[in-house]
Amino acid sequence: MTLISLSGVGISFGATELLKNVTFTVAARDRWGIIGRNGAGKTSLFRIMTGEMPPTVGNVARQPGLRHALLDQHRAFEGATTVWEAGAAAWKDVIALEKSIAEQAIQLGEMGEKVTDEFLEKFGRDQERFADLGGYTYHARVDAVLQGLGFDAEESKTRLISSLSGGERGRVGLAAQLIAPADLLLLDEPTNHLDLDTTTWLQDWLREADETVIVVSHDRAFLDAICTHILHVEGRTSEWYKGNYSQFVPQRAERRLTRERELQKQIAYVKKEEEYIRRNLAGVNSFQAKGKRKRLERLPRLAPPPGDPAAMSLHFEPNERGGDQVIAIKDLRVEVPPDRVLVDGFTAVLRRNDFVALVGPNGAGKSTFIRTILGDLAPAGGESRIGSSITPAWFRQDLSDLPLRKSLMDAILDQRPLWSRGAVQNHLGAFGFSGDEVFREIGTLSGGERARMAMALITLSHANLLVFDEPTNHLDVENIEALEDALDEYEGTVLLVSHDRAFLREVATRVWAFEGSRLVDFDGSFVEWEESKLSKAQLAAKQDAAANEARKQAEKEKAKQNANKQADQHATQRAKKQAAADAEAAVQRWEKRVNEIEVQLEDTDLYDGSPEGAQKAARLDQELAKARKELDAAMAAWAEAAD
């Protein structure tokens, strides 16, 4: 079933054409990834799909009543005070109805027998509507999503939005979109504020979701994990591909190769025909030449495959080799006020040519740890020493060291005062800044442009230690791959923080991983660390499953023992009852026998003086004594059974 379809869509702003001839169809439960260069128009496509902005040309068809949830890059909250309220914002009508039903229930109890039929009918209708709107399930959904994105579900009911960091606000915004009742989820860079664990949770959630998903992302591993289709925005148009990101790459290369061959074939054909026309237009074959000219005029000309400007061209070249011990860390303790320990007792040596990935959950203290080992912060204990021949360069996550009031040109000239204007323009051109752009103030740049400017400055440092704190956050896929290529050729040491798993898999040869306040030094690549972590998780899950199974077996055995015990008790009780009944029957039987004998002994004929009478009386006396003895025994047995 088709949810939304774009046909021949174009977007223009005045005389500037942003996109043209965009055509694709999204079906129910599809998961689309939209990729392309920063500024290519990916976010504008979202605005077209939601109806916020009409296309300049083309058509957009939506399923009637289509509900969408849009996660934009600028997260905001409307009227929410707590984290839980912000997450459940889309359910505000259901929450209001829930409060109304609770108030009606109190009134119902107070009214007692005075309650009216009208009140009961309204109460019933509201309860039915509450159930239809998902009122009995939304609490669990809110809790599950907040928990999955790293918030304590119970604590979030009292935690104020105003106390959150920028990254936490981003995660709350994402939670609100996932929690909202929708048919179509539109996610714009959802992993930007997520760590490795929450990114994994998100991709698992989206794979299992009933909603259709369209996501703009530069996270290749994330796109690999969730996507069934890729829409590539390039050269002011788009093409769609079936499959995930890894499947898209060879398909795109094959299409480009086919088109380039067809283009070259057409160029050769046109050249041949034009040469024939030139030679024969005024000769005996002029009729054929004129015919060929008309056919060439009507021939649809193939365009070159679409393409964008080249990605960054960057090279990191250290001025000197540096020592083998880049940073020596011994018993390092890192704290933040008030007395929160981030790292305790960490000892390691960062060696020359190490490419170390520093990984851990959001808030673990990765950036603070970097500031400490680089000497920007004093350690709470232990020491960190940078080698005397080591020159570090630091790409900060917030890009706070960029001179925002200076132009791009002046920022480069501060580093290279002897460079000519042409040399500066050539250097900035390698990072995508051309023409008069070099005179822009850095403060006017977008996030992606600032990231490229920071890279342009770092390449001038000729450092033999590069420290990157989330360098891929504002870079598109092409520029991330350019950074990977540059690091692959770099003959220095790298310490990097990133949540981009594809990037880390390409470059990291060693891992420092946060586990609480412990920092674990894993002497292997990021891929090996992932495998080790997965193995540990699987082993832990297996052990938990075994423990759960053992607990279930123990509970089952205990239940069986209890059942057997109860069965034995019941059998014992039944036996006692039966014994008491048998004893009572014996008493009744012997009482009857005693009475019978006593009646016979009261017969006067026994005492007529005859020997036979005397013998019979003597025998009855003996039987009576025996019967009374049996009766006494039966009475004792009955009394014992009754106890």
What tens digit of pLDDT does each residue of 314-338 get? 999 999 998 999 999 999 999 988 8
What is the mean predicted confidence (pLDDT) over 415-425? 94
Domain boundary among 279, 298, 317: 298
The answer to whether residues 518 and 599 belong to one domain is no
Q: What whole-number distance in Å separates Cα of residue 200 and Cα of residue 612?
A: 110
**What's the average model confidence in pLDDT over 581-607?**
82
CATH code, domain carrying 349: 3.40.50.300
What are the tens digits of pLDDT across the range 43-66? Answer: 899 999 999 999 999 999 999 999
Structure tokens at 586: 């014996």
**Residues 6+ away with beta carbon under 8 Å from 95:** 88
**Does pLDDT of 128 surpass 70?**
yes
Q: Which has more pLDDT, 96 or 468?
A: 468
- Percent over 70 (pLDDT), the chain: 98
Residue 386 is encoded by which pair of tokens? 């940078």
Q: List, for residues 472-530, the tens digit of each pLDDT value.
A: 988 989 899 999 999 999 999 999 999 999 999 999 999 999 998 899 999 999 999 99
Residue 192: per-residue pLDDT: 84
Q: In the predicted model, is pLDDT for residue 72 greater than 60?
A: no
Residue for token pair 């060879």: 250
For 482-487, the CB contacts below 8 A with 24+ separation are: 482/311, 482/312, 482/313, 482/314, 483/312, 483/314, 483/455, 486/314, 486/315, 486/316, 487/316, 487/355
Cα–Cα distance measured from residue 446 to residue 363, given in angstroms and rounded to the nearest whole number: 25
- 184 forms beta bridges with 68, 212
3-state helix, strand, coil in the chain (%, to 5): 50, 20, 30
Q: Kindly state whether residues 518 and 538 are assigned to the same domain.
A: no
Residue 422 and residue 348 share a domain: yes
Residue 313, in any domain of the structure: no
Residue 380, in any domain of the structure: yes
Task: Provide, rounded to the nearest whole percent, the portion of the chain with pLDDT above 90.
Answer: 53
Q: How far, in Å, CA of 45 to CA of 60, rounded? A: 11
Mean model confidence pLDDT for the chain: 89
Read off the amino acid at residue 318.
P
Query: How buried is residue 541: exposed, middle or buried, by Cβ count under 10 Å (0-12/13-18/19+)?
Result: exposed
Q: How far is CA 365 from the centre of its chain?
A: 21
**Residue 194: C-alpha distances to residues 25, 135, 607 (Å):** 29, 29, 116
Question: What separation in angstroms does the CA of 165 have from each of 162, 193, 499?
Answer: 8, 11, 18
Q: Is the same domain home to 400 and 373? A: yes
**Tokens representing residue 515 in the block:** 């586990």
Q: Which amino acid is at 336?
A: V
Sign of the four-CA dihedral 394, 400, 506, 361? positive
Q: What is the pLDDT of residue 495?
A: 97
Confidence of residue 308 (pLDDT cuts 50, 70, 90): low
> Does the pLDDT value for residue 155 go beyond 80?
yes
User: Given pLDDT bands bounded at 50, 70 and 90, which one contains residue 546?
Assistant: confident
Quickly state the pLDDT bin for 307 (edges 50, 70, 90): low
Q: Specify the range with the lowest mean pLDDT, choosing from 163-177, 253-267, 599-613.
A: 599-613
Residue 283 maps to a domain: yes
Query: What is the band of 164 on the pLDDT scale with cuts at 50, 70, 90?
Result: confident
Amino acid at 470: E
Task: Kindly state whether residues 425 and 449 are assigned to the same domain.
Answer: yes
Read off the pLDDT of each residue in 273-298 and give the average, rounded to a whole number: 84
Q: What is the pLDDT of residues 198-211, one digit of tens each?
A: 999 999 999 999 99
Residue 425 lies in a domain: yes
Tokens of 571: 């059998």
Residue written as token pair 């009918």: 121
Torsion, CA 530, CA 534, CA 539, CA 542, rounded to 10? 180
Q: Same domain for 463 and 417?
A: yes
Q: What is the pLDDT of residues 366-383, one digit of tens each?
A: 999 999 999 999 999 999
Do 437 and 331 belong to one domain?
yes
In 281-399, which residue ranges form alpha helices assigned H by DSSP?
286-298, 366-373
Angle between helices 421-429 and 408-415 (to 10 degrees): 110
Q: HSE-up of 290 (CA within 13 Å, CB side)? A: 6
Helix (H) / strand (E) containing 358: strand 355-359
Same domain, 439 and 505: yes
- With beta carbons less than 8 A apart as the criterion, state whether 217 and 190 touch: yes
Do 263 and 304 form a contact (C-beta atoms < 8 A)?
yes
Which of the residue ranges 12-16, 44-48, 114-118 would you say has the lowest mean pLDDT? 114-118
Considering the domain architecture, whether residues 466 and 606 belong to the same structural domain is answered as no
Domain presence at residue 593: yes
β partners of residue 495? 356, 467
Q: In what order do the strands lie in the sheet with 2-13?
A: 16-27, 2-13, 57-62
C-alpha closest to that of 167 among 444, 468, 398: 398
Count how many domains the chain has. 3
* 492, 385: one domain: yes
Pairing of strands 493-497, 465-469: parallel
User: For residues 472-485, b (16+ Cβ closer than 10 Å) or e, as one string?
Assistant: bbbbbbbbbbbbbb
Q: Residues 208-221: pLDDT tens digits? A: 999 999 999 999 99
177 is a domain residue: no
| CA distance linking residue 44 with residue 10, whole number of Å | 11
Lookup result for tokens 């003959």: 491
The confidence score (pLDDT) of residue 511 equals: 97
Q: For 230-240, how does the pLDDT look when each residue is reduced to its tens digit (9 = 90+)? A: 999 988 899 99
Residue 635 φ/ψ, nearest 5 degrees: -65, -40
Residue 361 has pLDDT above 70, yes or no: yes
Q: Is 519 domain-assigned?
A: yes
Confidence label for 76 from pLDDT (cuts 50, 70 and 90)? low
- pLDDT value at residue 143: 94
Closest by CA to 412, choosing from 452, 468, 444, is 452
Residues 390-398 have a mean pLDDT of: 93
**Secondary structure string (H, E, C) spanning 84-149:** HHHHCHHHHHHHHHHHHHHHHHHHHHHHHHHCCHHHHHHHHHHHHHHHHCCCCCHHHHHHHHHHHC
What per-residue confidence (pLDDT) applies to 610?
78
User: Do residues 496 and 618 both lie within one domain?
Assistant: no
End-to-end CA distance of the chain: 77
DSSP string, 196-219: HHHHHHHHHHHHH-SSEEEEE---
CB 342 within 8 A of CB 368: yes
Identify whether residues 517 and 544 lie together within a single domain.
Answer: no
Last residue of a domain, one of 458, 491, 524: 524
pLDDT given for residue 301 in this prediction: 82
pLDDT band at 279; cut points 50, 70, 90: confident
The answer to whether residue 275 scores a pLDDT higher than 70 is yes
Of 331, 293, 312, the residue nearest 434 (C-alpha): 312
The reply to whether 3 falls in a domain is no
Read off the pLDDT band of 352 (50, 70, 90).
Answer: very high
pLDDT value at position 247? 95
Question: How many other C-beta atoms can be found within 10 angstroms of the C-beta atom of residue 76?
Answer: 8
564: left (phi over 0), alpha (psi -120 to 50) or beta: alpha
| The last residue of a domain, from among 524, 558, 585 | 524
Q: Find the domain containing 544 and state its range.
A: 534-642
Residues constituting the chain: 643
